[in-house]
Amino acid sequence: MSKRSLEDLLQESGNPVELLRNQKTGPNVYPGVPAEFTNWRNEQAAWQNTCVLFNQSYHMADLAVEGPDALKLLSHLGINSFANFAVDKAKQFVPCSYDGYVIGDVILFYLAENSFNLVGRIPVLNWIRFHAETGRYDVKLELDERSAARPDPFNRKSYRFQIQGPNAVKVVEKLTGKPAPELKFFNMTTIEIAGKKVRALRHGMAGQPGYELFGPWAEGEAVREAIVRAGEEFGLLQVGGRAYSSNTLESGWVPSPLPAVYTGEKMKAYRQWLTEDSYEAKASIGGSFVSDSIEDYYLTPWDLGYGHVLKFDHDFIGREALEERAKQPHRKKVTLALENEDVIRVFASQLQKGDGRGKFMEFPSAVYSMHPYDKVIVGSGETVGISTWVGYSSNERKMLTLAILEEEYAQPGQEVIFVWGEEGGGTAKPTVEPHRQMEIRAIVSPVPYVETVRKTYVEGGWRAQGAA
C-alpha cells in the first residue's frame, strides 16, 4: 500500500497551520553525544574563552550530488551566484520556492570536479532530490540521512567535527605539527590527523575562528580522540547536545525557517512527491504567533539576513518573485535581549499555586517545537515581528531571542515586547503544558549579539563568510 503524500495530508487537515501547530513532534534532537560532557555553562564559556569540539556527525543529513549536470542543477535551485564557485570552496546554499520564500539553507561543499556535498536539515536536500528525479539532469545523488531517521544510526557515511574558539588554531597546529592552514573563510584544504587524511573547512560557528573537519566514518573515532588529546592543554571542551543548539543565539544564525512548501499551485507536484512520513509532514510550529495563513510563517532571504547572497546573475526558481520583492521594504534580523525582571517573573510563576503559571523556560534552549514562532509586539499591541529562537546565554547572563522585525522597530535600543506562551493555554503538542501567556519586555540589540562576532566577521555574522 502506497503512503499518502503531504498533499493528501494537507487536503485532509483543511489548514496547514492547525496541522503543524498541533503536530506531536517536539524540537529537533542532537543524538549521538551526551547531553553534557561537563556542564552546559562551562561548555558555552569554552567557545568564547578557550575552544570546543562540536561533534556534528549525527544530527544533520548529507546529500552527495555528482555528475556532469550537478552544477547546473544546484544553480537552478540556489539564489546564490555560482560565478566564482570552485573546487575547495563552500557556501551557504539558499533555495526558494516559486513565490520567493525560503525552503531552507545548508552548507554546500565543492569537493571535486562535478562533485558536491550538501549538509544540513533535510528540507533543502528533499527539494534537490525532487528536481534531480523529475528534471532532465545527468546527476547521481546519494542521501546519507541523519542518525534519528535511519535504522543504523551510528553508521553514517562521514564524520563531521568542528573545532571552534580562540584556541582553535593552536589545537590544529598541535594536531598537525605544522602552522595552521592559511585559508580564507569557507575555503577548504586537506590535512593529516592521527595518520588520517582529513578535509578541513575554515569556519566559525560559535562566532570564533575555527575549522570544520570531515572524512570517512570509520576513521572518525581516531580523529576525535586525537583532537581531544591535543586540546587538553588549550582548554578544549567537548560540547554536549544540551549546549549545542544555544550557540546560535550568540552567532546570530536562524536555524529553523519553516520550509515554504505548503501552498502554491506550482509547488503541488512537490507536495505530492513528499510522503506523510517526511520532515515537512511531521514538522511542528510552536509559540505565540498565530495566523490562519501558513504563508505568514514563510520567510524571505532578507528576513534571514541573506539579502546579500541573492544574485540575479543566473536563472533560478523564485527569481521573478524575488526581483519584485527586492523593490519592497524588508524586515530585519535582530537579537532581542529579554529584560531580566520579566524573565524572573516567568520563573517565579512556576513556584506559585493556581492557574497563573507561565510556559516553562528550559535552559539553555527554551525551544519546544521544530519551528518556534513567537510574536513581538509594541505597547499598542500591534505585532511588529516574530521571534524564531529563544534561550539562555550563560556567557552574556541573558535570555536572548533571534527575531525578525519591521525595519522601523529594528533599531538597537528600541523597546519591544516578546510574548511568551501559546494562546488559550496551549496547543495539543505534548511539549506544551497548561499555562498562560506572559509579556516580556525586550531591547532590540545587534545580531550577532556577541561583540567578538560582530568585530571579527563581516555583516551578517559567520554565516555570511563565503556564502555569496
The pLDDT tens digits for 132-146 are: 999 999 999 999 988
Q: Is the pLDDT of residue 66 over 80?
A: yes
**Residue 444 in grid coordinates:** 532590540
Sign of the four-CA dihedral 144, 124, 160, 197: positive
Mean of the pLDDT values across residues 343-365? 95
Beta-bridge partner residues of 215: 159
pLDDT at residue 150 in the model: 80
Give dist(CA 383, CA 448) in Å, integer. Answer: 23
DSSP bridge pairs for 198? 191
DSSP strand pairing (285-286 vs 371-372):
parallel
Cβ atoms of 226 and 194 closer than 8 Å: yes
Q: Give DSSP secondary structure letters for 310-348.
A: ---SS--TTHHHHHHHTTS---EEEEEEE-HHHHHHHHH
Kindly provide the b/e burial profile for residues 241-252, where b requires at least 16 CB atoms within 10 angstroms of the residue's own CB.
bbbbbbbbbbbb
Contact 222/425 with Cβ under 8 angstroms? no
Asked if residue 391 has pLDDT above 60, the reply is yes
Could you read off the pLDDT of 153-197 as tens digits, one per residue?
Answer: 788 999 999 999 999 999 999 999 999 888 899 999 999 999 999
3-state helix, strand, coil in the chain (%, to 5): 30, 25, 45
In which band, very low, low, confident or very high, does the pLDDT at 465 lie, cut at 50, 70 and 90? very low
What CA–CA distance (Å, rounded) separates 35 from 238?
A: 11
Average pLDDT of span 197-213:
83
Rg (CA), the chain: 22
pLDDT of residue 455: 46
Give the pLDDT confidence score for residue 467 in this predicted structure. 41
Question: Rounded to an integer, what distance in angstroms lies between the CA atom of residue 306 and that of residue 309?
Answer: 5
Q: Which residue has the cell 527586492?
A: 326
Please tell me the predicted confidence (pLDDT) of residue 419. 98
Give the separation between CA 249 and CA 349, rounded to whole angstroms. 25
First to last CA, the chain: 44
* Host H or E run for residue 126: helix 122-134
